[in-house]
Chain A
Amino acid sequence: AQSVAQPEDQVNVAEGNPLTVKCTYSVSGNPYLFWYVQYPNRGLQFLLKYITGDNLVKGSYGFEAEFNKSQTSFHLKKPSALVSDSALYFCAVRPLGQGGKLIFGQGTELSVKP
């Protein structure tokens, strides 16, 4: 079965420290990969995507993600966390041949403390 896993329900980071939010996937073929962020009581906002090419992709708000095909992972990273980065982060994949359908992970709550 095709799936996305975000193994951490919550990640706590001190402001100024680097952060990583983990994502692994299990789909056939080479999927498209995405990260979205959700602030409280708001819709999801697109952060970045990997389609093809360079394994390190850069997105909004200083975030980046690294695609690792051998480990089927797409971890979200930021060199220096801000308190305002505190939110719910979702990893998503679009399996090939599935049109616009996305499979979302369960989300990781990122908390950045001053």
Chain B
Amino acid sequence: SQTIHQWPATLVQPVGSPLSLECTVEGTSNPNLYWYRQAAGRGLQLLFYSIGIDQISSEVPQNLSASRPQDRQFILSSKKLLLSDSGFYLCAWSSPDRSYEQYFGPGTRLTVT
């Protein structure tokens, strides 16, 4: 069966520090991968999605970036965090032929101080 992992589970970082959040998927190949941010425990904002290695689309311009160094690994990064980057970051995957059905990881709670 497929599983999706995210780490760390929680993170507290000062303003201006770098960020690296990791997401990996097991049990499937060539998944579509997604990064979402959920602010204030509510609406989901799609940040990035990827349909393959080196194929990443950005949905919202900001100081975050995403990379996909391996087929089942998706990384969210920032060179300098802002206070407004605080939130709950969710990674999700879907199979290429059923891309509409997404499965979410447990999330990373980021607090920027």
Interfacial residues, chain A to chain B (CB-CB below 8 A): 32, 34, 36, 41-46, 49, 51, 88, 90, 94, 99-102, 104-107
Q: Are A101 and B46 in contact (CB under 8 A)?
A: yes
The contact sample of 7 A-B pairs, CB cut-off 8 A, is: A94-B100, A99-B49, A100-B51, A100-B99, A101-B49, A102-B46, A104-B43
Would you list which residues of chain B between 38 and 53 have a CB under 8 Å from chain A? Answer: 41-44, 46, 49, 51
Q: Chain B binding site: helix, strand, loop or mixed by DSSP?
A: strand
Q: Are B100 and A102 in contact (CB under 8 A)?
A: yes
Chain B nearest CB from A105 CB (Å) reads 8
Q: Are B101 and A49 in contact (CB under 8 A)?
A: yes
CB contacts between A and B, total, < 8 Å: 56
Would you list which residues of chain B between 66 and 101 have a CB under 8 Å from chain A? Answer: 88, 90, 92, 94, 99-101
Chain B nearest CB from A108 CB (Å) reads 10
Q: Are A42 and B44 in contact (CB under 8 A)?
A: no
Q: Are A100 and B42 in contact (CB under 8 A)?
A: no
Given A43-B105, A43-B106, A100-B94, does the pair A106, B42 have CB atoms closer than 8 Å? yes
Q: Are A43 and B107 in contact (CB under 8 A)?
A: yes
Among B34, B100, B107, chain A packs the most CB atoms within 10 A around the CB of: B100
Given A100-B32, A102-B46, A107-B43, does the pair A46, B109 have CB atoms closer than 8 Å? no
9 residue pairs, one from A and one from B, having the closest CB atoms: A100-B99, A43-B104, A44-B104, A94-B100, A104-B44, A106-B43, A32-B100, A100-B32, A43-B106
